[in-house]
Amino acid sequence: MLNKIKELWGTISSPSRYYSFGILIIAGFVAGVIFWGGFNTVLEATNTETFCISCHEMNDNVYQELKSTIHYTNRSGVRATCPDCHVPHDWTDKIARKMQASKEVWGKIFKTISTREKFLAKRKELAQHEWDRFKANDSLECRNCHDFEYMDFTRQGKRAEAAHSTGLAQGKKTCIDCHKGIAHELPDMAGVEGWQ
């Protein structure tokens, strides 16, 4: 076994006998493109709503709830899908989020939220993770669609205008502080700041 490894190392470390330097560079480049492309394709495939709701946990709970909200149907016909709100656009952040998602795969295998009851029991914790994330990134995913710069206050309701031109404009609050539960039903809100 050890000999075999030594032999392999010998082949890898010695200069190429048959192929020119140029060919090797090109071959390496092509292989890299294929690998990179494949990687990103898989990444994109997991970044669709169809993928998210292929798990019954997501399909039966949060997706059904989303359907009755303004982010699913509205007069303008613009839709927000799961990754729009839950996956960062920026590549490094996206990879970081995907690494976190490995925990969700774990949860799937061990059925931590496989029934509605289990899901509801865990909901507060799951929601808290999302609130913390939005709070930390200043509700970046919301802002990808709702840009504060382009909000026409004269077109908003009075209460919306009042809140947006004070707390939000001064940067003291971010979207998620005031807009929890816009896409799904809420967990027990007792003890959550700003509720009751």
CB of 77 to ligand HEC, least distance (A): 8
Interface with ligand HEC (CB under 6 A), residue total 52
Residues 86-105 vs ligand HEC: string with x where CB under 6 A?
A: x-------------------
Q: List residues near other proteins by CB under 8 A.
A: 69-70, 157-159, 162, 181-182, 185-189, 194-196
178 scored as a contact of ligand HEC (CB under 6 A): yes
The answer to whether residues 72 and 66 touch, using CB atoms and an 8 Å cutoff, is yes
List residues near ligand HEC by CB under 6 A. Answer: 49, 52-53, 58, 62-63, 66, 70-71, 74-76, 78, 80, 82, 84-86, 123, 126-127, 130-131, 139, 141-146, 148, 156-157, 159-160, 163-164, 167-168, 173-184, 186
